[in-house]
Amino acid sequence: MPTNTNTRRSPRGAAALLPAALLTLSLLAGVASSCNGEVTENRQKPCEPLKPAAASAPPEGAAGGVIVTDISGSMNGFARPGSVRLFTIHDTLERAVRDALPSGGAGASIKRCYLGDGLDCQSPLQVRALDNPGSYGARESRLDLFLSKAPEKDAGQEDAKAVEDPLAPYRLAVLVTDGMQARAAGGGGGGACLGGADPECMAYLLRQKAEQGYGIWMALLMLPFNGTHYAERPLDDVLWQRIQQHAAEAGREERFRGISFNVRRAGATPFTSYQYEGVKPLVVIALSKDIEGGRKFIRQFVDTIKREPVVAPADAAYSIELAPLSVRPRHITKISLAPSSSIEDVTPVTGQRREPGLYDYLVECGRGGKPTFLATWEEGEGAQALPDGVRADFRLAPNGDGNLPQGPLATRALDKGFEVQLTCRQLQPGAYAGCLDLRAELKAEPGADAFWAALHADNMYEAPERLYGLREMVQKVLDAVTAKPRETDRVLFRVERK
């Protein structure tokens, strides 16, 4: 049997002096023992180098951007004759969209659409008219039509036809709305959207877009509001007292200092809407398969709007990336025997290799070997797009490839690396290889700093300065996006049990 001339044994006593790249926990390449005791690689190499994830790209023909504005009656209270607040927001949106598109500047085309009972992309409504209360009169806001075209049915068939992606023609699509609460009887979308564009429907459709490779970003602006708030349910005197009490408490909050909160009703009980003065959220949702372009858009839009006298309180402009989320990669840079580890019956082998996406390590051991290795990592370059409320825990864990059983190998996370313990007596004599992935496991757990939890409302009627269903909608999208770990490096750990 031929030998591996590139592999040379190191003396047992010199194990602790091996270079850092040694114990690359290269768990997955196969090793075989030759007749004369030399080590050769098995023909099977189950541990392939980790390849960078392929970036999503806009479909061929996708160009320019589209800005869709909700013109339902519930938006009326944001508009004021003589004000330029909404014009400023939309002008900032246009400039941010143009700068995010590859052509950039004035050459980037932007289409304007308006959304109420349906989606209208032919309206001559000008941006300056968006500060006119009369521009907002639609009976409902079919927000689901922004993400999913209404299904079509053949005569005599109950099932809807598959429909094309309404966002496909655009490189960047933006929706401006006051919420996700509107319901439309018989609304399209299927499944969770049979009732229309409520928070559950929006979460359902946004999860679909994330699965299709779209990046998704949300900005929330707190704006002065004076108009009708639609409770979308009958209210009695008991509920009205709760509404009045909440408005009084909101006016005493430190963050709303200087802002007046007033509610008043007209008509007899029950009633389904009331007049509200205070602040209210305006939401901007952006989608694009051009991930860097989408990030550039949301960053520029929010940074610019914070410098304008638009939001109230003065710093109340928030943003979050819902997909794809990226973690700055970590790479194993050194593997060595732990200072307290026993080197009895243990011989690390020189000639280890570090290549992009793979750290290869080989160790020989006898029955009495029980070494502990330290695998240290360094953080690489890359975008870090983890929002408030999302945590990343890194693990070095077997991915199932190779013939090395998991039982003899145990790993645990340390501050700047991992401890890996090998128990050789649990292995029969022979050659083993296993693959360890360095992965970030993401978890969405909003805390007090996450705006999407702090500005969430449990119902539509009691807290108009918050957004009904915000936390659940964001949480459901993040739960889906974070379900799959992000692998950032791989280790091939080879063991020859004597």
State mean pLDDT over 474-496.
95
What's the chain's average pLDDT?
84
pLDDT at 44 over 60: no
State mean pLDDT over 231-236.
90
Q: What pLDDT sits at residue 12?
A: 36
The string of DSSP letters for 299-310 reads: HHHHHHHHTSTT
Q: Would you place residue 157 in the very low, low, confident or very high pLDDT band (cuts 50, 70, 90)? A: very low
Share of the chain above pLDDT 70, in %: 83
Q: What pLDDT sits at residue 57?
A: 78
pLDDT at 226 over 60: yes
Q: Would you place residue 447 in the very low, low, confident or very high pLDDT band (cuts 50, 70, 90)? A: confident
Q: What pLDDT sits at residue 336?
A: 87
Burial of 389 (0-12, 13-18, 19+ CB in 10 A): buried
Q: How far apart are CA 200 and CA 188, in angstroms?
A: 13
**Residue 55: count of CB within 10 angstroms of its CB:** 11
Beta bridge partners of 258: none
Q: How far apart are CA 20 and CA 378, in angstroms?
A: 13
Q: What pLDDT sits at residue 194?
A: 54
> In which residue are the tokens 């974070």 written?
482
Question: What pLDDT digit, counting tens, does each position of 265-281 carry?
Answer: 988 889 999 999 999 99
Among the residue ranges 110-114, 165-169, 261-265, 338-342, the one predicted with the least confidence is 338-342
| Domain range list for the chain | 12-54+327-444+484-497, 65-150+161-323
Question: What pLDDT digit, counting tens, does each position of 318-371 carry?
Answer: 999 999 999 999 999 988 889 888 888 998 886 568 899 999 999 999 999 999
Task: Please give the torsion angle defined by the CA atoms of residues 378, 380, 383 and 387, in that order, rounded to the nearest 10 degrees.
Answer: 0
Q: What pLDDT sits at residue 174?
A: 98
The string of DSSP letters for 468-479 reads: ETHHHHHHHHHH
Question: What sections of 170-251 are H helices per DSSP?
Answer: 199-211, 237-251
The closest of 465, 134, 75, 132 to 277, measured between CA atoms, is 465
Q: What pLDDT sits at residue 246?
A: 97
Give the tokens for residue 206: 């946004």
Q: How far apart are CA 23 and CA 410, in angstroms?
A: 14
Q: How far apart are CA 121 and CA 25, in angstroms?
A: 57
Question: What pLDDT digit, counting tens, does each position of 117-129 carry?
Answer: 899 999 888 899 9
Burial of 409 (0-12, 13-18, 19+ CB in 10 A): buried
pLDDT at 299 over 50: yes
Q: What pLDDT sits at residue 123?
A: 87
Q: How far apart are CA 399 and CA 456, in angstroms?
A: 38
State mean pLDDT over 172-198.
65
Q: What pLDDT sits at residue 286?
A: 98
Q: How far apart are CA 275 and CA 229, in angstroms?
A: 6
pLDDT at 410 over 80: yes
Q: What pLDDT sits at residue 181?
A: 60
Q: How far apart are CA 369 and CA 422, in angstroms?
A: 8
Q: Would you place residue 7 in the very low, low, confident or very high pLDDT band (cuts 50, 70, 90)? A: very low
Q: What pLDDT sits at residue 164?
A: 73
State mean pLDDT over 134-152.
84
- Using DSSP, state whether 96 is helix, strand or coil: helix
Among the residue ranges 153-162, 195-204, 455-464, the one predicted with the least confidence is 153-162
Considering only residues 469 and 152, tell me which one the structure prediction assigns the higher pLDDT. 469
Q: Would you place residue 15 in the very low, low, confident or very high pLDDT band (cuts 50, 70, 90)? A: very low
Q: How far apart are CA 401 and CA 15, in angstroms?
A: 27
